Amino acid sequence: MNFDVVIVGGGPSGLAAALTLGRARRAVLLCDAGERRNQAAEHIHNFVTRDQTPPDEFRRVAREQLARYPNVLVRDARIEALDGERDAFRLRVDGADVIAKRVLLCTGMLDEPLLIEGAREAWGRSIFQCPYCHGWEAQDRAWGFVAPAHDAPHAAMAAQFVQQLFAWTDRVTVFAQRGHALSDALAAQLESFGARVERSPIRRVIADDNTRTQIRAIELEDGSKVPCDALFAHPPQRQTALVASLGLALDADGYVTADPARRETARPGIYASGDLSTRMQGAIFAAASGAHAGAMINFDLAQQRATQRASSRARVETSE
């Protein structure tokens, strides 16, 4: 089957792009493998008109709205391989090939699990990445932050991140990870704006016995227990296998590099939007960049058609 655009990934970014391209009357195939990045989260917060919406409900409504556009096909399927070039990409899905003029990658990022005992069960419930997403619900309680494994340049970002946490609570403790001592410089900086710093590394998180999802304290290697109701952490992220196989240019943090105005990657005809291309991660950001990418792909296709028409017209005039 032939499409104008195949969108790889049906999270907020891919769904928004499909809507934009569908309304521009492009023939679109959106494939989604189904594993959501925010699988552990009960609600999406900080998305205007969708605050408090369960992620599955968000996707259901988006698909229901896309169903109005007969030129948009949505499939629950993984794109297994991608090759070819601008105007003639070949994508492998469910053992068959589809052909596309353009490809939009919206595959999100994969979070490495936090290597802290007890953290897996609490991830997305009381261990978070983003205070804008989950800070309101835990405001004025005891918060913690897992310091990054490496110092500069991550130390500067860690300090800026911790500064922000004081918008939600006055009680912020920064914890060292096992095997990664906090530098004196970072500790002094954190303490200067009111954070408590624990240099003994985290041994495990202690959660409510019944749920295992609500943490209550952090146990340190020295045996002490520090009260903590919400823990923030930025575990490493990686690209999906498909994106990694494409050899696209990545920035220093591993995100796909795309032209900020056009959203096209260094490989002509392949576009990228959403989490896989930025550290600024959130559902509304991903949706906005998906709509942006959709419009830019439509513009690219429209320009191509205009150029082709102009040159064929010029040929006719020359031959007359």
Instruction: Rule CB under 6 A: say whether 26 interacts with ligand FAD.
Output: no
Q: Which amino acid is at 308?
A: Q
Applying CB under 6 A, which of residues 79, 103, 190, 272 lies at the interface with ligand FAD?
A: 79
Beta bridge partners of 226: 218
Binding-residue pattern over the window 271 to 310 for ligand FAD, x denoting contact by CB under 6 A: ---xx-----xxxx-x------------------------
Instruction: Rule CB under 6 A: say whether 11 interacts with ligand FAD.
Output: yes
CB crowding 190-215: b at 16 or more within 10 Å, else e = beeeebebbeebbbbbbbeeeeebeb
Q: Which amino acid is at 179?
A: G
- Considering CB under 6 A, how many residues would be counted as binding ligand FAD? 39
Q: What CA–CA distance (Å, rounded) separates 18 from 132? A: 26
Nearest-approach distance from CB 8 to ligand FAD, in angstroms? 5
Please choose, out of 10-18, 206-214, 224-232, 306-314, the segment that lies near ligand FAD by the rule CB under 6 A: 10-18
Applying CB under 6 A, which of residues 5, 6, 10, 100 lies at the interface with ligand FAD?
A: 10
Nearest-approach distance from CB 129 to ligand FAD, in angstroms? 6
Nearer to ligand FAD, 106 or 248 (CB): 106
- Tell me the torsion sign for CA atoms 78, 298, 26, 44: positive
Please choose, out of 3-11, 20-28, 189-197, 214-222, the segment that lies near ligand FAD by the rule CB under 6 A: 3-11
Helix ranges (H only) for 103-166 are 119-122, 131-134, 154-165
Instruction: Rule CB under 6 A: say whether 30 interacts with ligand FAD.
Output: no
Contact set for ligand FAD, span 162-201 (CB under 6 A): none
Q: What CA–CA distance (Å, rounded) separates 30 from 8? A: 6
CA distances from 141 to 197, 201, 230 (A): 17, 22, 8
Nearer to ligand FAD, 92 or 141 (CB): 92
Total residues found in the chain within this entry: 320
Residue 275 in tokens: 């989490």
Nearest-approach distance from CB 48 to ligand FAD, in angstroms? 10
Instruction: Rule CB under 6 A: say whether 22 interacts with ligand FAD.
Output: no
Applying CB under 6 A, which of residues 5, 6, 8, 202 lies at the interface with ligand FAD?
A: 8
Q: What CA–CA distance (Å, rounded) separates 1 from 19? A: 20
Contact 145, 165 (CB under 8 A): yes
Applying CB under 6 A, which of residues 6, 19, 72, 106 lies at the interface with ligand FAD?
A: 106
Using CB atoms within 10 A of its CB, is residue 221 exposed (0-12), middle (13-18) or buried (19+)? middle
Which residues are at the interface with ligand FAD (CB under 6 A)? 8-14, 31-38, 40-41, 44-47, 78-79, 106-108, 111, 124, 129, 133, 240, 242, 274-275, 281-284, 286
